[in-house]
Amino acid sequence: MRVNYKVLVSDSLSESGLKPLRAAEGIHVDVRTNLTPDQLLEAIPDYDALLVRSSTEVTAAVIQAGKKLRVVARAGVGVDNIDVDTATQAGIIVVNAPTGNVVAAAEHTIAMLFAVARHVAQADAHVRAGQWKRSQFMGVEIRNKILGTVGMGRVAQEVARRAQGLGMTVLGYDPYVTADFAAQRGVRLVDLDTLLAQADFLTVHVPLTPQTTNLIDRPQLELMKPTARILNVARGGVVNEAALAEAVETGRIAGAALDVFTEEPLAADSPLRRTNKIVLTPHLGGSTVEAQEQVAEDVALQVIDVLNDRPARYAVNAPIIPPTDLEFLIPYIDLAERMGRFLQQLGGKWGIGKLEITAHGDLADFDLAYISAAAIKGLLRDVVNIRVNLVNALLMAERRGIDVVERRLHQHEARYDNMLTLRVTSATEKFTVSGSVLQGEPYIIGINDQWVDFPATGHLLLSSHRDRPGIIGRVGTVLGEADINISFMHVGREGPRTDAIMVLGTDEPTPPEILERLTALSHINWLKTVTL
């Protein structure tokens, strides 16, 4: 057999999962684990593909040394050990396996639920110590209890199915899905405070982002029942560990079970170790034979696809722009992503049911798949625990229950040669933003059918207000007193003394306390801060 490609497996992967790769024609597989960084640098120039788990650090130096590398595959979800930006610049596709351990993570969540409900770990240690005081381990049934899930992604959906089979009622909180999406899965969507107040067991299934860091903190724990218990098999840092330990020790809540931690391994002096009412496991969510076989097979098949010039199913960074359209489309793809990010921040926490993308002018002659993918990427940025890119964006939207509609209008607003309009709709809200590329730069040119053009970049402060004398001056005074410098101001309105939109560019973001002062001004409908 002629060998066209060489593949290096530098971490321990399931041999069963690697079978498709070993059987593929023209591909030679070398398994060389425990390589030092220097040994990896020396070896990598000979290989076309690199498969890793979490031990191998695929640094910029490794990528730059891999002159033949076409694909780096991570047998798992996270790609923190891979320099994705450097790989992208080098034209190397990075793929992962985001679905292979979904069932394993869901089952471990259920295992932790039982463990914390029936004191399994503590009772085991008790018996092994030669004791038999059964009264110390009175548990609770989970039947007829309420499970609250923070996040409605794939793992949460699998947990909900299993919990429902055990006789539990499931409530969900996820600002990025609709009530209909949740209801189809037997879950009633509620706000976070309601979820916290009603849940007997609370499980978190969200990525760790600036928005979700310490999402469950002291104020949230104060809302919970004293009989409630918390589970985290998602990401360390979503639950404030010190606050949780304190709440359990003081009886504010009944217990917890954690598989993930802010720092791993868990520090010897962690407050989580002080009480036996918290079950601790060492990040075992995806540690099943079946899951490891599946993630290895998932990346093996993708490596085969990439080496044979086919698209990878879970590409993290693969470009999808045809070379012939590249020059024209790139500015509008950038614009679409910025507009999506703008809408995500403008709309706040809502369940988006529909995204309408309309291209005006010559832009309507192009395949809008690239524009749509970029808009979704911006809209879902920091929302899902999978990196949204130009390859997987439409799939991510489908999984969030977002209906994506593309429209083309060759007639367009006369003042702009080409224009792009995004409209997002939820059960209660609708926001529209229009944009264009002016002299090669991305601009927002309209918000909710009001014309107001400004650069789609930097820190922005937006207000919707009744057009009255002095409002602009009062806003400027408050910002000036806070030493926030205004770089530009644009105002659009329906007519004199009617509703108006004002956009201020600022050199620094507007802090929450200043936003509160501005919101209190008369005739202000709403205020939003956006960073692009």
525: left (phi over 0), alpha (psi -120 to 50) or beta: alpha
Per the residue annotation, which of 218, 283, 381, 459 is the catalytic one? 283
Per the residue annotation, which of 235, 360, 387, 399 is the catalytic one? 235
Q: How far apart are CA 232 and CA 151, in angstroms?
A: 12
Helices assigned H by DSSP within 250-366: 289-307, 326-347
Give the SS3 label for residue 254. Answer: coil
What type of residue sits at position 296? Answer: A
Query: Which residues pair with residue 451 across a beta bridge?
Result: 446
Question: What is the H or E stretch that residue 65 is in?
Answer: helix 60-65
Q: How far apart are CA 223 and CA 202, in angstroms?
A: 12
Residues 6+ apart with CB under 8 A from 35: 10, 43, 56
Query: Which pair of tokens denotes residue 380?
Result: 């879902």
Q: How far apart are CA 521 and CA 468, in angstroms?
A: 12
- Contact predicate 462/532, CB 8 Å: no
Q: How far apart are CA 240 and CA 152, in angstroms?
A: 21
Name the pairing type of β-strands 524-531 and 459-466: antiparallel
Per the residue annotation, which of 25, 141, 263, 264 is the catalytic one? 264
State the DSSP string of 69-84. --EEEESSS--TTB-H
- Contact predicate 453/490, CB 8 Å: yes
What type of residue sits at position 382? Answer: D
Q: How far apart are CA 286 and CA 355, in angstroms?
A: 33
Annotation says 283 is catalytic: yes
Apex 441 CA angle, 440 and 446, nearest 5: 125
DSSP strand E in 89-187: where? 93-96, 146-150, 169-173
168: left (phi over 0), alpha (psi -120 to 50) or beta: beta
Query: Which pair of tokens denotes residue 46?
Result: 């000979």
State the DSSP string of 206-219. ----TTTTTSB-HH
Apex 219 CA angle, 198 and 217, nearest 5: 95
Helix axis angle for 102-118 and 154-165, nearest 10°, is 50
Query: Which pair of tokens denotes residue 499?
Result: 């509703």
Instruction: Give the closest residue to 145 by CA, choosing from 192, 200, 195.
Output: 200
Q: Which residues are catalytic?
A: 235, 264, 283
